[in-house]
Amino acid sequence: MSVPHYPVNEFGPLMKGMVIGIVGIVHVFLAQFAIGGGMLLWYFERLSQRGKEQDARAFVDGFFPILVLVSFVLGALTGVAIWFTTIAVGARTIGLMIDEFHWLWATEWVCFSVEVVAGYAFYKVGHRLAPKVRLRLLALYSIASWLSLFFINGILSWQLTPSSEPSNVWHGFFNASFWPSLLYRTCVAMALAALAACVVINTMKIERERRAALIRRASRFAAPIAIMPLLAGWYLASIPEDSRSWLLGGSAPMMMFVGVAAGASFLIGAYAVVALLIKRLYIGGATATLLLALALGATGAGEFVREGARKPYTVRNVLYSNSITPDEVAGLRATGVTVDDPYPLRDDARYANDQLRRGAKVERALCDACHTMKGGNALVELTRSWTDDQLRLNISKLQHTKALAQLLRWETQGAPATWPVAPTPPEIAGYLDAAGVK
Amino acid sequence: MWPFDRGGVVLALYIGTLALHAVFVAYVLAGSAFALLRRKDPIAATVLDRLPFMLGCGITAGVAPLLFVQLLHQRRFYTANLLLGPRWFAVVPALIVGFYALYLAKASDRWRRIALVVALACFAFVAWSWSELHELMQADPEWAAFYAAGHRLFTAATIAPRFVIVIGAMATLFVTVAAWSTDTAGRSRLAPIAAVGRVASIAGALWLWHTGFSVEGPAVVWFGILVGAAVVDLAAWTLTWKRPSDLALTVATAAGTAALLSAAVVREAPRVALIETHAQADASGAGYAFVIALVLGTAAIAWVVRQLR
């Protein structure tokens, strides 16, 4: 079985998860803002046309250019950046997703195209259109952008909960975490739009009372945030048990990120429900901006959790994070992971001997997807205090990668690791006695 | 029919959406140059106003060929991406800067000239980068050495002539779109640009041929269509220059469209044999979903366009 080899890039001290995280979080935040923004504008336009809110029309005309300038430009281009970054981080993963879902991805592209055309049309000529056409155009924009989320959500949620029937694309698409994830993201999109609206309303040159009236309307749009804990619970129930326990205490960093996402969302939700909806308080531009920043933090933590829950896979049970399938492992243990790798090392001359070079290639093939040597999640730091025996048992013995163990010892101490050739039976008996095993 | 007997509907969609993408980005790149160099022409104001929208459409339309190329040439596309590495990612910030520069050029008289220069530089860089990536995708014997040396710039004799072809074609495409929304005097002013663009493309093609690019086998038929369409296109623009009319513009547009599509096929010819096949899930149902979405989406866009008039 031939394993596809791709050239590997490093990003200085940044591990690859950080790179995709930075681009992905910005894109998700902007894209969800665009989706919620469309719905919010339709709601305000409707209020305006029914005569229920005197400044709603002015708000729509003021908010839309911001939506276009921020979301259409940065949102669309960070979407392109996501393609390139995913290729850099895990070419085989994105290739697998394309192979599986290309028609649905193409369907999503059609939705995105409608969204962009409808959005630009409203931006350009919305002011001179008949009220009914304005409303329809905003409805088209909102539906298209939400459908875009609908299709992407199915593809992304498939990574953690792929179908038990891999031959059927629809089973994969409507996977176990599809609905909770879709509804959760929809609520997030509405909350983001409401918060951004509060920022924009504060910039409008009208009396405070009229701004307060608009804010009360926008706040209603954030109301679905109240059901987010339920949706989060549904999502947790839908993911595999080991991933769930990983998030709920199995991994301390993951649990912390769950806490950050939940805590930030709770604070935003509590403010929206108690202060804005129940107490009907006024929210200033600074506070709204702060809440929006908190929402960015919650989005970041949430995306980190979603990515982390899949470990050690990028597609659960199908592809490991280092782009090797479970079926390929036995073959690679027999032949070695570097045998068919056509790419030489860029820093070949740096290594003292061929064994270290092989170790560097093994590190590139097996570890580089989640670790760096000396930067983020550094292998050197993780293994610095290990004894030679620990290296042997944890890396050489378990993973059949002696060269990698030697490389790590060389990186930390500049000397080779040494081990007894093989323990004799009396030595083994001694170890067992020492461990209290009869 | 070659090449679709090998690449199937995915190749057809790739070529179709690539051509659509080319129309929009041609308007942006050549339009930016036009607005910069012909500031006093009344057409420049319309062009300037439309540039951000056209770039938005260009980027959106570009997502589709980006998707389909990953089915046709997955290994090569990913490898070339990774080999160029951070230098390839630079196209994204370049596009962001270019995008905002277009908005600035539209909004500010004071900053217009410098904003257009910046935008033009950004878009030319992106166009060059795509030519570079296209060549690197096919240069598999050089991949390992390129990677080992840590290079980030790929040089090949064919990149510059490809760039010249593209820039020339962009000028013609820009005029083809812009001419439909101007009067006869405007068309007469635009026509020489289209003709010069076409001549530049032909010169670039001759240069490319000189570097070793050749058209063989079934691609010759498509090349014949390209040559015929280019000749008719050139004649129609020359006529528009002297005696602008709807008929001449219609002929130029039809010939330009034929030239664009056949050029896209000829461009693909050397790598048709390299098209990859992948084990895929049964996606027939999803294919129908795409067709339905395409029909509904096209109808929705047509409705939006009708509202704009």
Kindly state whether residues A309 and A398 are assigned to the same domain. Answer: no
Within-domain flag for A8: no
In this structure, are A363 and A400 located in the same domain?
yes
Q: Other C-beta atoms within 10 Å of A89: how many?
A: 24
pLDDT of residue B283: 61
The tokens of A47 are what? 């209020």
Report the pLDDT value the prediction gives residue A295, as an integer from 0 to 100.
96
Identify the residue among B13, B23, B89, B123 best suited for mutation to test binding to A, counting A beta carbons within 10 A and taking the highest.
Answer: B89
pTM, full prediction: 0.93
Examine the domain organization and report whether A292 and A210 are in the same domain.
yes
User: Residues A201, A177: contact at Cβ < 8 Å?
Assistant: no
pLDDT score, position B308? 84
Cβ distance of A98 and B67 shorter than 8 Å:
yes
Please give the tally of structural domains in chain A: 2
Q: Is residue A129 part of a domain?
A: yes
A5: in domain: no
**Which tens digits make up the pLDDT trace of A339-379?**
999 999 999 999 999 999 999 999 999 999 999 999 999 99
Contacting residues for A157 by C-beta, under 8 A, at least 6 apart? A175, A177, A178, A181, A182
Same domain, A288 and A421: no
Report residue B58 as tokens. Answer: 């260009």
Q: Six-digit token pair at B75?
A: 């290994």
Contacts of B290 in chain A (CB under 8 A): 103-104, 106-107, 110
**Lowest mean pLDDT across A344-348, A431-435, B243-247:** A431-435
**Residues within 8 A of A (CB atoms), B 47-86 only:** 53, 56-57, 59-64, 66-68, 70-71, 74-75, 78-79, 81-83, 85-86
Q: How far is A125 from chain B (nearest CA, A)?
A: 7
Select from A320, A353, A368 the last residue of a domain: A320
- CB-based contact B264:B18 (threshold 8 Å): yes
User: Does one domain contain both A357 and A261?
Assistant: no
Question: For residue A350, which residues of chain B lie inside 8 Å, CB to CB?
Answer: none
Among A272, A295, A320, identify where a domain stops: A320
Considering the domain architecture, whether residues A280 and A347 belong to the same structural domain is answered as: no
Residue A115 has pLDDT above 90, yes or no: yes
| Domain presence at residue A7 | no
B213 C-beta neighbours (distance < 10 Å), count: 17
Structural domain span for residue A288: 16-320
Task: Looking at the structure, tell me whether residues A24 and A162 fall in a common domain.
Answer: yes
The answer to whether position A246 is within a domain reads yes
Under a CB-based contact definition with an 8 Å cutoff, are residues B289 and A107 in contact?
yes
pLDDT of residue A53: 95
Name the band, by pLDDT with cuts 50, 70 and 90, for residue B251. Answer: very high
Contacts of A137 (CB under 8 A, 6+ apart): A118, A121, A122, A126, A129, B304, B307
**Residues contacting residue A287 through CB under 8 Å, at least 6 positions apart:** none
The answer to whether the Cβ–Cβ distance between B60 and A8 falls below 8 Å is no
Q: What single-letter amino acid sits at A199?
A: V
Comparing A409-413, B70-74, B100-104, the range with the smallest average pLDDT is A409-413
pLDDT reported for residue B120: 97
Under the banding of pLDDT at 50, 70 and 90, the label for residue B288 is very high
Where is A314: in which H helix or E strand?
A: strand A313-315
Same domain, A302 and A405: no
Q: Please check whether residue A330 lies inside any domain of the structure.
A: no
Same domain membership, residue A351 and residue A221: no
Q: Is the peptide bond before A13 cis (omega within 30 degrees of 0)?
A: no
Which of A52, A63, A68, A66 has the alpha carbon at shortest distance from A217?
A: A52
Asked if residue A41 and residue A152 are part of one domain, the reply reads: yes
B126-138 average pLDDT score: 96
Report whether A224 contacts A69 (CB < 8 A). no
If asked whether residues A313 and A393 sit together in one domain, one would say no
Query: For A72, which of B10, B56, B92 is closest by C-beta distance?
Result: B56
Residues A64, A138: Cα–Cα separation, whole Å: 10
Share of chain B above pLDDT 90, in %: 94
Hey, what's the torsion of the CAs at B147, B151, B154, B157, to 10 degrees? -100
- Under the banding of pLDDT at 50, 70 and 90, the label for residue A422 is low
Q: Is B301 on the interface with A (CB under 8 A)?
A: yes
What is the spatial distance between Cα A40 and Cα B191, in angstroms, rounded to a whole number?
A: 46
CATH number, domain containing residue A30: 1.20.1630
A150 and A202 co-located in one domain: yes
Please, which pLDDT band fits residue A402 given cuts at 50, 70 and 90?
A: confident
Confidence of residue A398 (pLDDT cuts 50, 70, 90): low
A175 assigned to some structural domain: yes
Q: Give the tens place of pLDDT for each residue, B3-22.
A: 999 889 999 999 999 999 99
d(CA B239, CA B191): 9
Determine the pLDDT at residue A394: 84
Tell me whether residue A174 is in a domain. yes
- For each of the domains in chain B, give its residue range(s) and CATH number, in order of start: 4-274 (1.20.1630)
β-bridge partners, A14: A11
A322 DSSP assignment: T
Q: How many residues does chain A have?
A: 438
Residue B300 identity: A
Assess contact for B12 and B4: CB atoms under 8 A. Answer: yes
State whether residue B278 sits within 8 Å of chain A by CB: yes
In three-state secondary structure terms, A313 is strand
Residue where one domain finishes, among candidates A253, A287, A320: A320
Taking only the tens place, the pLDDT of each residue in B48-58 is 999 999 999 99
